Amino acid sequence: MSVAIDEVNFFDPAVLEDPFDFYQAAIAECPVYQMPGTTTFLVLSYDAVVDCCKRVDDFSSDFGDMLAGARAADPDVKAILDEGWPAVNTMLTADPPDHTRYRGLVNQAFSMRRVNAMEADIRAVAVDLIEAVADTGRAEFIDDVAMPLPVAVIAEQIGLTRADTERVKRWSDAFADRLGGMIDKDRELECARQVVEFQHAMKERLDARRAEPQDDLLTDLVQARLEGEQPLDDAELMSILQQLMVAGNETTTSSLAGGLLLLIQNPDEMAKVRADRSLIPLMVEEILRLESPSSGLWRVARHDTELDGVAIPKGAMLMVRFAAANRDPEMFAEPDAFQADRKEARRQLAFGKGIHMCVGNMLARKEMAVCYEELLDRIDDIRLAPDHDLTHVPNMLLRGLKRLDIEFSRAGRERAEAA
C-alpha cells in the first residue's frame, strides 16, 4: 500500500492501531522523520534507533514530565498526588551519572540468580492458570492467562500475594494510562488516586522488609549497596518499583497475547514449534520483534546535533520507535512475516538498546518461554473465537491487544493427562 507519510498524523489512534504501512514507507523515505509543523522527530530505522540510544551525551532520557500525564499540573490532579511521594527520575528517565547509580543498585536485585530462582514459581502459576481453562474449550486469554501470570509473579516479588493480582493490575494500568498520554481528566484523576494508593502500599512493605528481610526482589532492592553510593531512598524505590511493575506486567501481558495471536494466524509456524520445543526461546525473540510491546520511548536533544544526516535542534523531542526498527527490511528479511525459527530475531530491540535496555528482560523472556511451553503441552487446536476482537489499547508508547478470545481443545499429550 502506498503511504504519503506527510499526510499521516502518526499519533492518531487509527494510525497507532495499524502503523505498519507507515513504518515501511517512512523507513524507506526518511528514517528520521520530522513531523510536519513540529520539532518532534520519529526515529524509525534500526541503525538510527541504535545510534540514538547509544548517544547519551546527545540525546537525554530525562523525559519524566512526559510520563507524569498530560494534566500533572492540574490543581485537582496535583492535590491528589501531593498525598503521596514526589516522582523521581530513576532508571527510565535518568541520565548518567545518576542512571549509573540506579542501574548498578537495581542490577544487584535483578540478577540471573534471582530470575532462575523464580522459574519454579512462574511455572506453577502458568500451570494453574492454563489448567483452570483447559477443559472449558474457550478463554479470554488476556484475562485468564496473559495478565494474571506476570502480575502474580511481580506481586510476590514486591511483597504482595496472588490474592493482590487485581490491585497490581489496577495500579499498573494507572501508570500505563498516564504515560500513554491519551486519557481524559476523569481517568487522570482516578490514575492519580491509584498512584498514591500504590505508594502507600509500597511504603508499608518497604518498612517491613527493612525490619524483616525476605527472599524476594523487594528485599534485594532495599539491601542493595554500592561502594561510595547512597542506598535507594523511599521515593527512589517507589519509582523503580513502579517501572518494574509496568514493565513486568503490561509489556509481558501484551507479548504473551500478541505472540499467541501470531501462532494462531500462522498455523505452520505453530506446528513447527509443537514438533520442536527447542525452538521456543528463538520463537520468543521473534514474537518480541513483531509485537514490540514497548513500541517507543522519548529522547530529548541536549544540543544542536544530527541523526542519520538529519539536523536535530536543541530541545527537540525524539520518539524512538523500537517497533519500526524491529521491522526494518535492511535488518530483517520479510520483516512483517512471523518465522518462529528466524535466527536474526535475536537482534530485536523490544527491550531497547544501550544503558537503558530493560532491566527485566531476562524475567520477561523466562515468563514467555515457560507460558508457551505449558500452553502447547496442555491445549491444542487453538483458534480465534467467532466473536473475537483484535483491536489494541490506544497508547503512544505501549502496544497491546484489548482482549484475545480463543477456542481450543484439551491436548492429548501425556504431560497434560497427568496434570
* C-alpha span between 216 and 158 (Å, rounded): 7
Instruction: Please give the average per-residue pLDDT across 121-138, as a whole number.
Output: 96
Averaged pLDDT, 362-374:
96
Write out pLDDT tens, residues 273-313.
999 999 999 999 999 999 999 999 999 999 999 999 999 99
- Please say if the pLDDT value at position 419 is more than 50: no
Q: In this model, does residue 256 exceed pLDDT 80?
A: yes
Q: What is the mean pLDDT of the chain?
A: 91
Segments in 43-162 forming alpha helices (H): 46-54, 64-67, 75-81, 98-109, 112-134, 141, 148-157
Instruction: Look up the pTM and report it.
Output: 0.90
pLDDT reading at 68 higher than 70: no
Rounded to an integer, what distance in angstroms lies between the CA atom of residue 71 and that of residue 75? 9
Task: Average the pLDDT over 410-415 and give the result.
Answer: 65
Average pLDDT over residues 318-323: 97
Q: How many CB atoms lie within 10 A of CB 365?
A: 18
**Tens-digit pLDDT profile for residues 11-45:** 899 999 999 999 999 999 999 999 998 999 999 99
Unique residue bearing C-alpha cell 473465537? 385
What pLDDT, on a 0 to 100 scale, did the predictor assign at position 257?
98
The region, left, alpha or beta by phi > 0 then psi within -120 to 50, assigned to residue 2 is: beta
Q: Give the span between the Cα atoms of 143 and 400, in whole angstroms.
A: 13
**In the numeric block, which cell numbers belong to residue 135?**
477443559
- Please state the rounded mean pLDDT for residues 128-143: 97
CA distance 192 to 195: 5
pLDDT at 203 over 80: yes
Q: Do residues 380 and 411 touch, judged by C-beta distance below 8 A? A: yes
Q: What is the C-alpha separation between 174 and 84, in angstroms, rounded?
A: 15
Neighbours of 236 (CB within 10 A): 23
